[in-house]
Each structure stands twice: as structure tokens, then as C-alpha cells.
Amino acid sequence: MNYLSELLKLPVLDVNGEKLGVVNDLGIATGEVFPHVTSLAFQGPGKTPFMISWRKYVDHVDETGVHLKTRDTDVRFSYLQPDELLLARDILNKQIVDTQGLKVVRVNDLKLSSSGENQLRLLGAEVGGRGLLRAIHPALERVVARIARAVGKPLEEHIIAWSYMDLLERSTQTIKLSVSHKTLDELHPADIADIIEQLDPRLRSQVFAQLDTAQAAEAISEFDDDELVAEVIEGMSDRDASSMLALMDPDDAADLIEELDYEKAEKLLRLMGVKEERAIRNLLGYEEHTAGRIMTSEFVALPATDTAADAIEAIRALDEDFESIYYVYTLDTTGALTGVLSLRTLIVADLDARLSDIAYRDVVWVTPDLDQEDVADEMTKYNLVAVPVCDDARHVLGIVTVDDALDVIAEEHEEDLQIAGMATGEGGSGESLHILSWFARRFYWVLVWAVASGVIAGVLAGLGAAPELALFPLCAMPVVLIAASRAVSFARNFYLDYEESDDDRGPYLGYFLQSAGVGIVLGAVVYLCGQLVLGAVYPEEALAAVDGALAGAVLRAHALSASFTCAAIVVFASCATSVAYLKLLFWRDARDRNTSGTALGLAGVLIACLVFSAASVLAIYLLFV
């Protein structure tokens, strides 16, 4: 009896073998690394629930049942203590946090260990397929395990030790877990964000309730899903949400505020302190995706006449939650930026040295309306960990830090991959690890070809044409679909490589001339290939005959020629009209909308398929009639 699933429904027998009921749960005290089972919960006659002390009454457990030390008349019932929980009720089939693997998992079974005849300890949770099979029926688990072992793929257990479990549906303030592991609120904010994103929606608010305001502020700033951010904030009280946003970096708080509806956002801003509200409103006044929107208003700028000692003292006086300090900026008497010092320069300088004497004067700065991607490029070019954002008079409005620049680069990279039709999952290579998913994204045209082939054959049969005539458009269709897919890819790659210029007319005319030229060449190649096939299959001298059998050959020859001619025309049209996809990409980008490269390619293939199918069927039908 090593698993909870094996104990449930076992009979509970007194010392004389009389049945008192059946096991329906076990209670444990949570203060140990591997907790003892302290209580036995069973269901008596009439489905009446009872609970007794395990240590006091249980003698031993075997396959026949749970055997008690006393007669049923001597049993005294007990209650669940505040530091206890029930395994089946509180853990089985629930989500837990694996604080070692940093992921959310569901408990399929619980593994127990015997220590003596009447003592059981909880070792951990089984979260793999083996526990799920055992929960359905132990015999099923044994059969599948034997089959898996026979084929050389043993069915492994996936046990998470109790010391690495954190419960989500019960407060960690009332349940004391083992002190030998990190609980959820002790994890890094980025890890907490990853875990919360994996949770069922109903549990997210419960997990957030376990974090204090500062921890919640750090965790929510790590979220990747804007809709999830809005959902979490909506689930909090206005005062808690406002306090959390006030503790965040102003640029991160501004991004979150923007995801909320106007009334909710205004209410949260009014509940903040004046300083925090002003900083966030200032950032919201700039356009999206500009330096002004991603900058933070927390920086250190001092008069150039101050000394190194003054600068060090100013840094020491900052709040603990102040934005990370990378540089100290110097200002002239009008408040204009004149120089910058790294912390290293400041530390090694004499305390009485003037900042103007040790500052680097050739400062790189950006304007608040500069595109965020250009800001990231500037920081990469000059190897900066922060860049000041200044107005026309060089007054410092804020700084863009390296973490914000990295977010911009990652965001732009993800958008480029999406437009290119690649995945951005954990593999990191842009390819899905699932072969079916990979095949569907790369070779969806094969499925389109198969479906269209059946449709064309059905339509021609319905029109009364000879069945074999359907073979010719089916032979020519793959080149049409591949050419359409490549035309979309050409437009996509042109878009990704295009660098904006001052030409208001855009790149469309130049692109059209290129793609139309390629279309002419490809169309000519397809047409010539069709003529070569025609000459090889139906020699000219054979077609000169007029008897009935060869008259059919003449019809088939014309059908073959018509199919490849239609294919050549559609290939040219796909290339020439791909400028429409390029224009669509620029149009959606201007409105900050992502475009799936796979969806765009599929649309191009479907359009080409429909045009070719209609044209080839019509041509063959006209030949037939």
C-alpha cells in the first residue's frame, strides 16, 4: 500500500474483523519534511463521515483493509486540527507549485512510505501519467507499465517531494510547510510570473493573495500577457491595485495602466500619491513605442559644480526601491545635460573632485519621440546600459534602461518571427518540437492540394467529363501552390528587411517590378515544362490521326496543355499580386497589429488554389463541350 489511490475504499476493520466503513481520506500534519499520517477519515453506515486518530487506533494496513487495535465500541472520534489537511480533499487532483522545477502541476496520486506497521509518511505527489492510470484503476496502470517496459519505454514515476510542493488553494499563512524549501512568495518575481501564467484563472487571485504588495508589484511587471495583467488587476481591490502600481517602476506601471479601461485607470491613478501619479501621467502623455513611453523618471542628475562626495551622498539618500542607478548625469546652471559619469568613475575619483572635471562630455542622448527600436539600436551601438531622454533644450526628462531595451528587442524579434511564420516556443530555434505542428506549418499546401483534387474530380465528373481528365490539373496544381507560398514569403522577407526612408510613395512600385519579373520567368518555365510533357506523352504525329480512339487522345492532350497554361498564368498572377500582401503587412504594422506568417501564406495558397481550380475546370469543360 504505497499510494493513496490504493488505500481509498479499503474497508476499516476493528480488532474482531467487524467492518466500520471504508477509507475516504487521510489527514497529515504539515510541519514536517515528510509528514506523518495523523488521522484516518472513513465513511460509515449511511455514508456518515467519521475521523479517528491514526496513531491511537490503527494497528496495521494490508491489502484486506485498515485494521484497528480496538473494538468498534471503544473507538472515540476526533476532529481535524488547524495544522492538518486531508490528502484527498486538499491535494489530490489539485494544482500545486513545484518550487524546484518552477512549474504548476496537477496531483494525480500521492506516494506514501511505511515506517513500522502502523505508521505512514507522505513522500510526495505523483504528477505523471502513471499516477493518472493508477487513479483510474491499479490494474490498468500495471498493464500499461508492462507494455511500456516490453517496448523499451519504461513508464517512469514523476514524484515531487513534499519538501518541494507549495499549495495554491490554501493560504500558506495558515498551513506551515516545510522550512527546507522555498515557498511561492520566496521565488524570484519572474518565476512567480511564469507560475501564475500557467494557473487556472480561478486560482490566480488566490496566489496573488499570498504575496505582499511589493512582491505582487515585482511579479506582475514580469507578465508577458497584457490581457492577463488586466485580469489580475481587475480581480484586486482598487486600493490594493493602486498601491501595487505605485510601487512599480513608472514605465512599467504606465504600460499596465494603459491596458485598463478609462474609468478603472483614472480611479487607480487618483488613489496613488501625487508624486507617483504625476510620473505615470507624464509617461502616458507620450505616443506608444517611443522613448518617452518606455523611459523612467527615476534617475540621478546633479549640478556639474558638485563634488564626487556630493554625488555619493545623493545616491545613498535614494529610496531602496529606486530604479537601478547606472550613471550620474551632470547639469549646467540652466538644467541642461552636460556630462555623464559611470559609478566606477565616481567611486575611484577623489571625494573633492568636481563632477565637471571627471564627467564624460560627449553624451549620447535621444529625444522622447524617437521610436523605441531606434533607442535600443543606439544603446546597442554605444554599449550603454542607460540612455538619457532629453527635450530640445537638453533638459533630462528620463532615462531608458537596459532592461527596457532588451524587452523592446525581444518584442521586435518575436513580431519578426511571427510574420516569418515561425514559432517562438521553448525550443528557441523557431521550430516546433511536435512533428505534426511543424509539418502543418511548412507543408499545409499538401493538404490544400489533396482537398482541391477531390473537389476538381467531383466537379468534372458532375459535368460529365471523362474521369481521367481530372489528372491533368492535379499534376499542375503543386507548382501553383508552391509558387503562391513562395510569393508570400518573398513579400514577408522584403517587409522584414525593408528600412524606412523619406520616400512617401513607399517601396511598392519597385517591389511590383521585381515580383512581376520573377512571375514572368516562372510562368514561362511552367508553360515550357507543360509543352515538354505534352510532346513526350502525345507526339505530334499521333495526334494527326482522326479515329475515335485517338480523338480521345487529342482531347486529353488539349486538357494537359490547358492545365499547364492555366498554371503558368496563375503563377505569374501570384507573383505580380504579392505586392498586396506587402501593403497589408505595412498597413497592419502602422496600426500595431501582429500578422501571422503562416496565416498569410495559407491565405495566398488558398486564393491561388481557387483561381487555378476554377480556371482549369472551365478550360477543360469548354474543350469537352
Q: Do both 368 and 247 map to the same domain?
A: no
Model confidence at 183: pLDDT above 60: no
Query: 74 and 39: one domain?
Result: yes
Q: Is residue 64 part of a domain?
A: yes
As a whole number, mean pLDDT of residues 383-411 equals 90
Contact 254, 280 (CB under 8 A): yes
Q: Are residues 257 and 135 in the same domain?
A: no
Predicted confidence at residue 361, as pLDDT, reads 93
- Structural domain tally of the chain? 4
Residues 401 and 547 reside in one and the same domain:
no
Q: What is the pLDDT of residues 356-387, one digit of tens each?
A: 999 999 999 999 999 998 999 999 999 999 99
DSSP 8-state secondary structure symbol assigned to residue 74: G
Q: Euclidean distance between the first and final Cα of the chain, in Å?
A: 80
Helix (H) or strand (E) holding 324: none
What pLDDT score was predicted for residue 416?
A: 61
Last residue of a domain, one of 241, 262, 285: 285
pLDDT band for position 145 (cuts 50, 70, 90): confident
pLDDT of residue 379: 92
Q: Is residue 234 part of a domain?
A: yes
Q: Tell me which residue of 354, 317, 322 sits closest to 339, measured CA to CA.
A: 354
Q: What does the CA dihedral 173, 179, 180, 181 come to, rounded to 10 degrees? A: 20
Query: CA–CA separation, 375 vs 380, rounded Å?
Result: 9
Mean pLDDT calculated for residue range 80-88: 83
What share of the chain has pLDDT > 90, as a percent?
23
Residues 477 and 583 in one domain: yes
Q: In what order do the strands lie in the sheet with 327-331?
A: 300-303, 327-331, 337-342
CATH number, residue 235? 1.25.60.10
Which helix (H) or strand (E) element contains residue 213? helix 213-220
Q: Which has the higher per-residue pLDDT, 249 or 387?
A: 387
Residue 182 within a domain: no
Q: How many CA within 13 A on the CB side of residue 315?
A: 16
Same domain, 359 and 481: no
pLDDT band per the 50, 70, 90 thresholds, residue 566: very high
What residue type is 127 in one-letter code? V
Amino acid identity for residue 309 in this structure:
A
Helix (H) or strand (E) holding 86: strand 84-86
Asked if 28 and 176 touch (Cβ cutoff 8 Å), the reply is no
Beta bridge partners of 36: 121
- Identify the pLDDT of residue 456: 86
* pTM for the whole structure: 0.47
Contact 474, 456 (CB under 8 A): yes
**406-410: average pLDDT:** 83
Q: 268-288 burial, b for 16+ CB within 10 Å, e for fewer? A: bbebbeeebbebbebbbebee
- The full 3-state SS of 359-426, as one line of letters, equals CECCCCCECCCCEHHHHHHHHHHHCCCEEEEECCCCEEEEEEEHHHHHHHHHHHHHHHHHHCCCCCCC
Nearest to 36 by CA among 23, 11, 16, 55: 55
Length of the chain: 625
Better pLDDT: 499 or 404:
404
Same domain, 113 and 28: yes
Are both 590 and 472 inside the same structural domain?
Answer: yes
Q: Where are the alpha helices (DSSP H) in 498-596?
A: 508-537, 540-543, 548-576, 579-590
Average model confidence (pLDDT) across the chain:
80
Q: How far is the C-alpha of 111 from the C-alpha of 363, rounded, in Å?
A: 63
**Residues 299 and 372 occupy one common structural domain:** yes
Taking CA atoms, 524 is separated from 49, 264, 527, 569, in Å, by 83, 62, 5, 9
Q: Does 228 share its domain with 332?
A: no
Name the nearest CA neighbour of 118 among 65, 58, 70, 67. Answer: 58
Residue 436 lies in a domain: no
pLDDT digit string, tens, across residues 570-598: 999 999 999 998 888 888 877 767 677 77
Answer whether residue 335 is part of any domain. yes
Last residue within a domain, chosen from 133, 167, 201 = 167
> Could you report the per-residue pLDDT of 313-360, keeping only the tens digit for each?
999 998 877 777 889 999 999 999 999 999 999 999 999 999 999 999
275 sits in which H/E element: helix 274-284
| In contact, 395 and 336? CB cutoff 8 Å | yes
Rg (CA), the chain: 36
CB 185 within 8 A of CB 166: no
Q: What is the mean pLDDT of residues 292-299?
A: 88
428 within a domain of the structure (yes/no) = no
- Domain shared by 63 and 202, yes or no: no
What's the pLDDT band for 426 if we cut at 50, 70, 90? Answer: very low
Is 229 contained in some domain? yes
Lowest mean pLDDT of 25-34, 66-75, 333-342, 446-455, name the range. 25-34
Angle of helix 402-419 relative to helix 372-382, nearest 10 degrees, comes to 120
**Domain at 620, CATH number:** 1.10.357
d(CA 73, CA 180): 42
Tell me: do 162 and 138 sit in the same domain.
yes
Domain stops at, among 285, 309, 341: 285
Tens of pLDDT, residue by residue over 217-235, are 888 877 777 677 777 787 7
Q: Is residue 271 part of a domain?
A: yes
3-state secondary structure 8-65: CCCEEECCCCCEEEEEEEEEEECCCCCCEEEEEEEECHHHCEEEEEHHHHEEEEECCE
* Domain containing residue 217: 188-285
Q: Give, as one character, the DSSP assignment of residue 3.
A: B
pLDDT of residue 351: 93
